[in-house]
Amino acid sequence: MRQALREIEVETRGRGLVEITGRAADFVGAQGMANGLLTLFCRHTSASLLIQENADPDVRADLETFFSRIAPEGAGLYIHDVEGPDDMPAHIRAALTQTQLAVPVAGGRMLLGTWQGVYLYEHRRAPSRRRVALHLMGA
């Protein structure tokens, strides 16, 4: 048993889901481990991780609508507003989704279901660069 660690940077274009399935798969494939556990960790509190449907882009649009409704921006809604009206909603969205995901690996590949993709979820309005740590432990 051994482990491998890498940090990747994900460029975002403001609010929305950015698929990183391919980059995670590349990392896993490059380590030459048949079986193991991949952990992805988002090093931010206004972006997060999510496994979601990778087929119909409407799903991502509807998710965005849902989170905008449940954690709206708005004057007077939050005490914490010094970093802009989209910052506190971003923290709430991050709390409701995941900072970290773990995916079992078999035959050198993540054990994702057919329709599952791995996404970084940017919650701020502005484009950004987000750091995600990838950790693989296996044999």
Q: Please report whether residue 112 would count as binding a second copy according to CB under 8 A.
A: yes
132 DSSP β-pair partners: 8, 42
The residue (of 53 and 125) whose beta carbon lies closer to a second copy is: 53
Which positions ≥6 away from 57 have C-beta within 8 Å? none
- Look-up of token digits 């079986």: 35
Which positions ≥6 away from 65 have C-beta within 8 Å? none
Q: Which stretch binds a second copy (CB under 8 A): 8-16, 23-31, 99-107?
A: 99-107
CA–CA dist 23, 20 (Å, integer): 5
Q: Please report whether residue 125 would count as binding a second copy according to CB under 8 A.
A: no
- Look-up of token digits 């889901």: 17
| Structure tokens belonging to residue 48 | 């997060």
Which position among 1, 75, 76, 129 is part of the footprint of a second copy (CB under 8 A)? Answer: 1
CB of 126 to a second copy, least distance (A): 16
CA–CA dist 47, 67 (Å, integer): 13
Draw the binding track, 27-66, toward a second copy (x: CB under 8 A; -: no contact): --------xxx-x-xxxxx----xxxx--x-xx-xxx-xx
Q: Which residues of the shown chain bind a second copy in the complex (CB under 8 A)?
A: 1-3, 5, 7, 35-37, 39, 41-45, 50-53, 56, 58-59, 61-63, 65-66, 70-71, 78-80, 82, 88, 91-92, 94-104, 106, 111-113, 115-116, 131, 133, 135, 137-139
